[in-house]
Amino acid sequence: MSGTALTETKLREQIIADPDVILEDQDVLHALIAANEKSLGGNIIDLRGIAMERLEARLERLEDTHRSVIAAAYENLAGTNQVHRALLKLLDPADFESFLRNLGDDVATILRVDCIRLVLETRQAGTDPAVQRLGGVLTVVEPGFINRYLTMGRNAPARNVTLRQVEPKSDRVYGDMADWIRSEALLKLDFGPGRLPGLLVMGAEDPHQFTPNQGTDLLAFFAGVFERTMRRWLS
């Protein structure tokens, strides 16, 4: 028996013993289907081959969707863990000044934002010495400022969580960082009946870090815990 015939015999025996080798190899299957279509001639339509092509295209789309769903699930899990770590760090301080400093330092680092500002409305005139000490984190404004900032002066309802790309036109919120903030997350805070609202502002230099098409569930949860923590300090 010649070497070629011997090789063909061994290949035949391997295929018969383990046909999955061919069935699981798309390139080999395509080659066999193409050879079969060629043997049929040009006047015959292979409906089975057409159906297989359509099924393969559908399978590829399903696999792409599957990969996208898994990637989104991992991203959501990572974001959830990030928010949980930030909230645990937020609960550590024993006094309000440490609470705010922690917010501007460790919490901002965990959330991977370039700066965090807490904006509080007040009817009292003048500047409290504590506000001056915490000027890097705390901003005190007049009543109505928060809604105007959220809606950018438009006659529209203010949402509880707003994500947007922005170039601040003043340093009222960000101070000397206003020149390089390009996107922000705005969390409106409710401190309870009879109290003016607050606003937690997260600013980023990356214009794509916060965009309107992103989900807001985790940030809404963060805002809910934060405002309840603030009520304790304000009571």
Residue 203 dihedral angles phi and psi, to the nearest 5°: -110, 145
Question: What's the average model confidence in pLDDT over 127-152?
Answer: 78
The predicted-structure confidence for 204-214, as pLDDT tens digits, reads as follows 999 999 999 88
Q: Please, what is the Cα angle at 115 between 110 and 116, to 5 degrees?
A: 85
Please report the pLDDT score of residue 32 as a whole number: 66
Tell me how far apart the alpha carbons of residues 226 and 179 are, in angstroms, rounded to a whole number: 27
Amino acid 6: pLDDT: 57
Domains and CATH numbers, the chain: 89-234 (3.30.450.40)
The pLDDT tens digits of the residues spanning 163-199 come to: 999 888 778 899 888 889 999 999 999 988 888 999 9
Has residue 94 got a pLDDT over 70? yes
| pLDDT digit string, tens, across residues 212-231 | 988 889 999 999 999 998 88
Q: Is the pLDDT of residue 1 over 60?
A: no
Which has the minimum average pLDDT: 42-56, 89-103, 105-119?
Answer: 42-56
Looking at residue 158, what is its pLDDT? 77
More confident residue, 58 or 217: 217
Cα separation of 108 and 120, whole Å? 18
| DSSP letter for each residue of 133-184 | HTTTTEEEE-TTHHHHHHHTT-SSPPPSEEEEE---SSSTTTGGGGGG--EE
Model confidence at 2, pLDDT cuts 50, 70, 90, reads low
127: pLDDT strictly greater than 60:
no
Q: What is the mean pLDDT of residues 118-145?
A: 75
- CB burial of residue 49 (10 Å; 0-12, 13-18, 19+): middle
> How much is the pLDDT for 61?
80
Which pLDDT value is given to residue 4? 64
Which residue reads 């769903």 in tokens?
69
Is 180 or 3 the better-scoring residue by pLDDT?
A: 180
Query: Does pLDDT of 70 surpass 80?
Result: no
Average pLDDT, the chain: 80
